[in-house]
Amino acid sequence: MEKTAKAKKAPVYLTKISRETFDKLKEQILQALVVEKRYRDSSFTASQLAELLHTNTRYVSIVLSVRYHANFSQFVNRLRIEEAMALLQDQRYADLRIEEISDMVGFANRQSFYRAFCQIVGKTPRQYQDEL
């Protein structure tokens, strides 16, 4: 019987934020990061996002964790890699070096870009580009 009671209990972090606040923040996060592409700024932080949205980093973290199963860095890196993949496929950017694409999508350095790309895509940016 005790097991059933635990299963119905909401996770502790969800009791810290109302459903309305959660939904509102989810939309605001998408607006700031996906629509406005603030992830392109390599120095953009979770604290800056929270300040922009007039909330705190804990709430931002809860929304990203629950909705996207990621922390701030993971979520931002996914967006960056998705854009990098699109740029690597686009013939208009064929003359750019991979490091230039890395800079365009917001990575601070080549190593971070390669590490994130390999984690998300399963191959290096060069391998990805060569296979296209």
What are the pLDDT digits (tens) for 59-88?
A: 999 999 999 999 999 999 999 999 999 999
- What is the reported pTM? 0.85
pLDDT at 12: 58
pLDDT of 27-45, one tens digit each?
Answer: 999 999 999 999 999 999 9
How far, in whole angstroms, is CA 73 from its chain's centroid?
6
Burial of 83 by CB count in 10 Å (0-12 exposed, 13-18 middle, 19+ buried)?
middle
Residue 107: pLDDT band by 50, 70, 90 thresholds?
very high
pLDDT at 15: 63
pLDDT higher than threshold 60 for residue 3 = no
pLDDT at 132: 82
Q: How many Cβ atoms from other residues are within 10 Å of residue 51's Cβ?
A: 12
CB 25 within 8 A of CB 59: yes
